[in-house]
């Protein structure tokens, strides 16, 4: 009869000064991962593990944790049997050393074979230790290893953490674990809400932690806080006949800014609704962490919702204070708007001569001149008519005009957006104004893409100028370092080309940008190197996009083997191969095709015309005739962009290829016959090459 193991609950809380929001989610995930791994390695089972975070604390609760490690027996391999005993069968020094190291007697070892060789083994038994003896070091190590982008040191301590540590709770059941970190000893006293509770909150039991903290105005579970906040926001919005749109990023930020949420509504003067919506929402959301409220018609109304870190007492006073702060910001925004409308966009462009883009790459004005030329190149490549080209030229001239506006200076998040509004107010063509906004798209993963043709061209031109310029002066992203967001910009170009189905050559585009830098700035540009680096850079972005779309890695390698230049066509090829891989034709083809590819790779020959007089076997004559027929069909398919058709035509060769290998010795002694047959196989391997390298696919 087995006895049930004794279990206990563990509570570990690190109390700090207020931690920046951007640190919280990652740190909670790290704690959970490290402790889960540590307990598994220590052979300690538990029923549940939770990690919670508020602005002033990280808390770990492990329920039903074993109080003792499992005992363990492990076979340890020693020296080979022939080295373990001397000629008389007595233990050698090698065996004695092994036994001493494992703490066993030489009489306790046994022999087992490994790969046909007999080795000496020992069975090593380890008794489990008490969990209480293991936890302190495990928990202290975890705290030391949490990564923060900008950790702090405080006082004269060597300890680095997100913010200074002020208290620690470490309860193993009702016992306090002997833990000390940064001069702070663990105890059973936590701290409640900074203003609504005390600095002396006794935790009597790990399982009562949440309840006790709630009584002291701290909701420790971030998911619970988030749900409470969102529910309160919806209720408050409904009470004022409004709607709040989902905003996961802002909701997450507010969740980690407070410990006890109470949502409230505020008002602002209706006259501010005459401003562009973004001018109201940006200071509201980005600066004050308010949720904008919309009417049933989807239009912004003169209300906002914010969340207080506290109770509902004196809520009117809190609302009035928030209204006052927002009123000042909206008053500034209104002033900037009116001031900016009095200025000419053309005059703004002239001011760009005084703003440096990069010390080695000239001013923003010079960037505008380059992107205008790149835009003209793209416009012609994409078949824009004269009227569209004129609109494109005007848009390229005005792309950065709003950078010197008062509004964008105060709210940089509005660059491009304000350019569109100022363009509309100045009477610019609708497509021109739209392109000013769209040229920044996409700004992040999952963001919208430009809708207008002019906006697409402007976005690509602006981004490729930055990428090629930085590459030309050697600022290529390495590892996690990408200060100029070149990866994001290359991904943006790739997404626009692929999703908008644009026939654009990356090498042609980068080549134009290279020439412009050299000609305009007079700097030396190693064009061949820049083009090669750019091609590889875009290949890596394409691989990520294809992978995100569910394309298997072998298919990706198949279509990127030759550094693809037309990204949209490469996407179509990957889709075609991925579909082909699931067919019976694929399975029938690949055995013979890979055999052909391996022979060609091992015995490369210069492609030559097949000499029919050297084709002696019926099987090779049949294969040659089939190849000629398929070659013509493949050429037509490629011309029409029918990559599925190409693969289907190649797959139709499978029976002839199999018959060929059954009947013919490729590596014949006669060099002429051998080369003729290898040339035949070379033709087979070359047939699908314009789609992908099929030999890289997994069967």
Is pLDDT of 410 > 80? yes
The owner of tokens 């050559």 is 505
Decide: residue 480, CB within 10 A, 0-12 exposed, 13-18 middle, 19+ buried: exposed
- DSSP for 175-208 reads EEP--EETTEE-BSEE---TTTS-S-EE---GGG
Instruction: Report percent pLDDT > 70 for the chain.
Output: 99
Who's near 48: CB < 8 A, 6+ residues apart? 61, 62, 63, 64
d(CA 372, CA 363): 14
Mean per-residue pLDDT over the chain, rounded? 94
Per-residue pLDDT reduced to its tens digit, 161-220: 999 999 999 999 999 999 999 999 999 999 999 999 999 999 999 999 999 999 999 999
More confident residue, 184 or 671: 184
pLDDT attached to residue 1: 36
Segment (H or E) for 72 = strand 72-80
Structure tokens at 294: 């919309």
pLDDT attached to residue 202: 97
d(CA 600, CA 622): 20
Who's near 30: CB < 8 A, 6+ residues apart? 145, 146, 147
d(CA 90, CA 108): 14
Who's near 338: CB < 8 A, 6+ residues apart? none
Decide: residue 156, CB within 10 A, 0-12 exposed, 13-18 middle, 19+ buried: exposed
pLDDT attached to residue 2: 40
Of the candidates 469, 477, 476, 484, the one whose C-alpha atom is nearest the C-alpha of residue 518 is 469
Cα dist. 47→203, 568, 625 in Å? 21, 50, 69
Per-residue pLDDT reduced to its tens digit, 7-29: 999 999 999 999 999 999 999 99
pLDDT attached to residue 74: 83
The owner of tokens 């809520």 is 315
14, 58 contact by CB (below 8 A): yes
Q: What is the mean pLDDT of residues 425-433?
A: 97
Per-residue pLDDT reduced to its tens digit, 220-247: 999 999 999 999 999 999 999 999 999 9
Per-residue pLDDT reduced to its tens digit, 74-99: 888 999 988 889 888 889 989 989 98
d(CA 61, CA 452): 53
Of the candidates 682, 580, 689, the one whose C-alpha atom is nearest the C-alpha of residue 627 is 682
Q: What angle do CA 266, 219, 319 make, to 5 degrees?
A: 15
pLDDT attached to residue 478: 86
Is pLDDT of 4 > 70? no
Is pLDDT of 440 > 50? yes
Q: What is the mean pLDDT of residues 589-600?
A: 91
d(CA 43, CA 39): 6
Out of 38-47, 425-434, 536-545, 583-592, pick the least confident.
583-592
439, 459 contact by CB (below 8 A): yes
Segment (H or E) for 24 = helix 21-41
Helices (H) and strands (E) in the chain, counts: 26, 17
Per-residue pLDDT reduced to its tens digit, 459-482: 999 999 999 999 999 999 988 789
> What is residue 105's three-state secondary structure?
coil
Calculate helix-pair angle for 453-472, 386-398, nearest 10 degrees. Answer: 50
Q: How does residue 533 score in pLDDT terms, banded at 50, 70 and 90?
A: very high
Of all residues in the chain, what percent are helix, strand and coil, respectively (each to 5)?
55, 15, 30
d(CA 451, CA 439): 10
pLDDT attached to residue 607: 64
- Report how far apart the first and last C-alpha atoms of the chain are (Å, whole number): 52
Per-residue pLDDT reduced to its tens digit, 557-589: 999 987 789 999 999 999 999 999 999 999 899
d(CA 23, CA 257): 12
> What is residue 363's three-state secondary structure?
strand
454, 382 contact by CB (below 8 A): no
């Amino acid at each position: 009869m087995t006895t049930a193991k004794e279990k206990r609950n563990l509570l570990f809380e690190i109390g700090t000064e207020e931690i920046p929001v951007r640190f919280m989610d990652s740190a909670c995930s790290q704690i959970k991962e490290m402790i889960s791994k540590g307990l598994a390695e220590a052979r300690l089972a538990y029923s549940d593990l939770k990690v919670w975070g508020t602005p002033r604390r990280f808390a770990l609760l492990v329920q039903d944790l074993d109080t003792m490690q499992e005992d363990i027996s492990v076979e340890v391999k020693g020296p080979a049997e022939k080295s373990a005993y001397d000629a008389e069968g007595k233990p050698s020094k090698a065996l004695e050393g092994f036994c001493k190291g494992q703490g066993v007697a030489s009489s306790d070892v046994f022999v087992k074979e490994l790969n046909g060789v007999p080795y000496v083994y020992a069975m090593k038994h380890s008794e489990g230790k008490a969990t209480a003896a293991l936890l302190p070091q495990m928990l202290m190590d975890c705290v030391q290893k949490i990564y923060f982008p900008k950790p702090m040191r405080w006082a004269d301590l060597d300890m680095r953490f997100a913010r200074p540590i002020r208290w620690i709770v470490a309860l193993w059941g009702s016992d306090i674990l002997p833990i000390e970190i940064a001069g702070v000893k663990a105890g059973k006293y936590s701290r409640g809400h900074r203003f609504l509770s005390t600095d002396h909150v006794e935790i009597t039991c790990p399982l009562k932690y949440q309840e006790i903290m709630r009584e002291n105005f701290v909701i420790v579970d971030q998911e619970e806080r988030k749900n409470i906040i969102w529910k309160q926001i919806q209720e408050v919005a409904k009470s004022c006949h409004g709607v709040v749109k989902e905003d996961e990023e802002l909701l997450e930020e507010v969740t980690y800014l407070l410990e006890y949420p109470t949502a409230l509504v505020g008002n602002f003067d209706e006259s501010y609704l005459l401003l562009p919506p973004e001018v109201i929402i940006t200071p509201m959301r980005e600066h004050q962490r308010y949720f904008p409220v919309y009417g049933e018609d989807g239009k912004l109304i003169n209300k906002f919702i914010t969340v207080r870190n506290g109770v509902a007492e004196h809520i009117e006073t809190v609302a009035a204070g928030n209204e006052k702060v927002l009123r000042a910001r909206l008053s500034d925004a209104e002033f900037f708007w009116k001031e900016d409308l009095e200025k000419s966009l053309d005059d703004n462009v002239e001011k760009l001569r005084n703003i440096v883009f990069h010390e080695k790459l000239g001013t923003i004005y010079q960037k505008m001149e380059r992107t205008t030329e790149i835009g003209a190149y793209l416009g012609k490549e994409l078949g824009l008519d004269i009227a569209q080209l004129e609109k494109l030229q005007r848009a390229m001239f005005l792309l950065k005009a709003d950078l010197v506006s008062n509004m964008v200076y105060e709210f940089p998040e509005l660059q491009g957006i304000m350019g569109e509004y100022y363009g509309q107010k100045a009477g610019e063509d609708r497509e021109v104004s739209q392109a000013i906004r769209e040229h920044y798209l996409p700004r992040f993963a999952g963001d919208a893409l430009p809708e207008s043709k002019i906006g697409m061209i402007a976005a690509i031109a602006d981004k490729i100028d930055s990428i090629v310029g930085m590459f030309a002066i050697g600022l290529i992203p390495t590892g996690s370092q990408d200060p100029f967001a070149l990866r994001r910009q290359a991904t943006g170009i790739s997404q626009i080309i692929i999703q908008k189905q644009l026939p654009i050559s990356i090498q042609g585009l980068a080549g134009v940008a290279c020439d412009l830098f050299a000609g305009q700035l007079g700097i030396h540009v190693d064009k061949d190197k820049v083009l090669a680096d750019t091609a590889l850079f875009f290949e890596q972005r394409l691989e990520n996009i294809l992978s995100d779309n569910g394309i298997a890695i072998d298919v990706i390698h198949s279509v990127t083997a030759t550094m693809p230049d037309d990204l949209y066509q490469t996407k179509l090829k990957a889709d075609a191969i991925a579909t082909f891989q699931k067919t019976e034709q694929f399975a029938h083809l690949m055995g013979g095709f890979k055999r052909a590819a391996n022979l060609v790779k091992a015995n490369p020959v210069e492609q030559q015309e097949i000499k029919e007089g050297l084709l002696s076997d019926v099987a090779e004559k049949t294969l040659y005739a089939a190849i000629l027929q398929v070659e013509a069909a493949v050429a037509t398919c490629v011309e029409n962009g029918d990559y599925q058709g190409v693969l289907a035509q190649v797959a139709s060769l499978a029976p002839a290829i199999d018959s060929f290998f059954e009947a013919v010795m490729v590596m014949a002694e006669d060099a002429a016959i051998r080369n003729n047959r290898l040339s035949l196989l070379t033709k087979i391997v070359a047939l699908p090459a314009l789609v992908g390298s099929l030999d890289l696919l997994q069967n």
